[in-house]
Structure 1
Amino acid sequence: MEVKGIITAMVTPFDNNQNIDGNATRQLVNKLINSGVSGIFILGTNGEFHLVTNDEKVAFAKVVIDEVNKRVPVYVGTGGNSTREAVALSQKMEELGADALSVITPYFLVPSQREVLQHYTAIAEAVSIPVVLYNIPKHTGINLEPETVKELAKIKNIVAIKDSSGKLDNMEKYIKVTAEEEFAVLSGSDSLILPALKIGAAGAIAATSNLIPEIDVSIYEYFIKGELEKAAKAQQEIEVLRAVLKLGTVPSILKKAVQLSGIPVGPARLPVAEPGEEVIGKIREVLEYYQGREIKFHC
């Protein structure tokens, strides 16, 4: 499995009772695949992994894996603070048929780099499928240091890192220290898709592609073709959505936008509140903007 292209950091659809909505999940999966994404990444930050029980994670992963049906790789988030729990969940997801795992660094307790190295090594050794490291220091309080990533990249089934630090120089360091390994660096910051590709990243795990996958995919495709001016224009286009995403707690704005576009992904799980009417008005303006650019929504 080659890790590359635009992989959607998919939201987790809920019904109005805040239970996982299987039908909406299948709708969203098919929209994304039909739009040309290179993979589906579930149970990440925008997938509200931190608000979903392990039993729900398993049930949700079953639906996604079944619906995707090997059309694209499915990356499943299995990280947590407890190494034992992360190992058990990772093994379960492998059993279900996940193509790869994504493992966020432990959070809240802020472990040392040595402890993180041990944590990831134990998880990788417990499964046979690929493992993608997930670095998001803004929310975890810890940055995976390049030297740690260099050591982890030597482990056969640790194949990539999603870097959501928002720092291009951080990604560049990862690319340099893993140059001798079969290891992919992916941008986890949608604003840096094209800049990351230019310095050697293999692609991006992009939340904005829940709503505008065609635009995100075009950034990658234009870059591969060497059409950098078109790639830059597409990169700029996603800023219209990113500006409104800042008006609420993740992923409330994104889910409302997807819902208003025609796929009933429901609200974020409490305590995250739904956006108010003023913000909803701004979301509708964003949808109108993209509809004017012939982005096909389901509404």
Structure 2
Amino acid sequence: MLLNFEGIYPALLTPFTKEEAVNEPVLRQLIHRLIDANVHGIFALGTNGEFHVLTTEQKLKVAEIVVKEAAGRVPVMVGSGGNSTREVIELSQAMEQLGVDALSVITPYFIPPTQEEVEEHYTKVAASVSIPVLLYNIPSKTGFSFTPETVARLAKVPNIIGIKDSSGDFNNIKQYIDHTRDENFAVIAGTDSLILQTLQEGGTGAVAATANLLPETVVAIYEHWKAGDNDKAQAAQQELQPLRDTFGLTSIPASLKKAVELSGIPVGPPKAPIQEAKGEALKQIEAAVRYYQSK
């Protein structure tokens, strides 16, 4: 059982065929590539995994493959969030049956709930499973942001183990850390530019999309920080920037998928309506990949 979240978990891409089916052989290839790079866990079915456009059947298939291929070598955390509490409970229970180690549950979106409603939502979801649950805060996509006080109360729920913050606002991360210092609670960077800063402030790790292309580099941020070498950790953190600079050129996760494909793992296109990178965006992505290959 995953009791403490520590280290680097790649925000796993979901490879697709041209027909938008899950590309199972490529998914296996990507998982092995990441584990061989000594990542500390796998995080599947997040935003970069396009969870919001997958069917329940596809989500369960992805989770089943990740659990099987990880084979206990690293913990597996999967996204089981959704808009209704009942839906989230049913998917979370199905994921537990498949043998995942922990769940990431995004806040309900489209109609943002109140803090009180969200607290009750997570309390019910956590009570419905026996595995750990991670809160997932991404206000730019959901219209909702946890207050530090809500996080502090939820941190007292026995199997709610932490929060992944993808707000991009370091003050958010700092406040979550400050409000949960007395709990066994992990605060995790969900924005790749804030990995080292989060660790230095008292966070425990990151869920990093850039790790799909640069797993060794992202792992190096954590390992150098843990060894007390902040200069090397900072250098590794800076190495992510050319890739991150391509993310705003397309809709998520088209830039990252193209970069990973150019590096030799054919993850395929995003699901429509998101389109593959092309034109000037493609040229910049190609330049970034060439930069990393030259290193």
TM-score by length of 1: 0.97
5+ residue gaps, structure 1:
294-299
Report the Cα offset of residue 124 of structure 1.
0.1
Work out which of the residue numbers 89, 103, 127 in structure 1 matches 2:91.
89
Work out which of the residue numbers 135, 146, 157 in structure 2 matches 1:144.
146
- Equivalences, count: 293
Match of 2:257 in 1: 255
Aligned pairs for 1:186-201 (under 5 A) are 186-201=188-203
Work out which of the residue numbers 67, 70, 73 in structure 1 matches 2:72.
70
Match of 1:272 in 2: 274
Q: Deviations over 1:16-73 (max 9, x none)?
A: 1110011000000000001111111011100001000111101111111111111111
CA distance in 2, matches of 1:230, 1:87: 42
Match of 2:205 in 1: 203
Report the Cα offset of residue 278 of structure 1.
2.8
| Structure 1 residue 53 corresponds to structure 2 residue 55 | yes
5+ residue gaps, structure 2:
none
SS at match of 2:275: coil
CA distance in 2, matches of 1:50, 1:185: 24
Match of 1:296 in 2: none
Quick one: which amino acid aligns to residue 33 of structure 2?
K
CA distance in 2, matches of 1:134, 1:173: 15
| Structure 1 residue 173 corresponds to structure 2 residue 175 | yes
Quick one: which amino acid aligns to residue 176 of structure 1?
D
SS at match of 1:127: coil
Quick one: which amino acid aligns to residue 26 of structure 2?
A
Match of 2:46 in 1: 44
SS at match of 1:129: coil
Match of 1:297 in 2: none
Quick one: which amino acid aligns to residue 103 of structure 2?
L
CA distance in 1, matches of 2:62, 2:219: 25
TM-score by length of 2: 0.98
Q: CA RMSD in A?
A: 0.7
CA distance in 2, matches of 1:178, 1:7: 22
Work out which of the residue numbers 74, 81, 87 in structure 2 matches 1:79.
81
Report the Cα offset of residue 212 of structure 1.
0.4
Q: Deviations over 1:188-228 (max 9, x none)?
A: 00000011111000010000000001111101111011111
Match of 1:29 in 2: 31
Q: Deviations over 1:61-86 (max 9, x none)?
A: 11111111111111010000100000
SS at match of 2:187: strand
Aligned pairs for 1:153-172 (under 5 A) are 153-172=155-174
SS at match of 2:264: coil
Quick one: which amino acid aligns to residue 221 of structure 1?
E
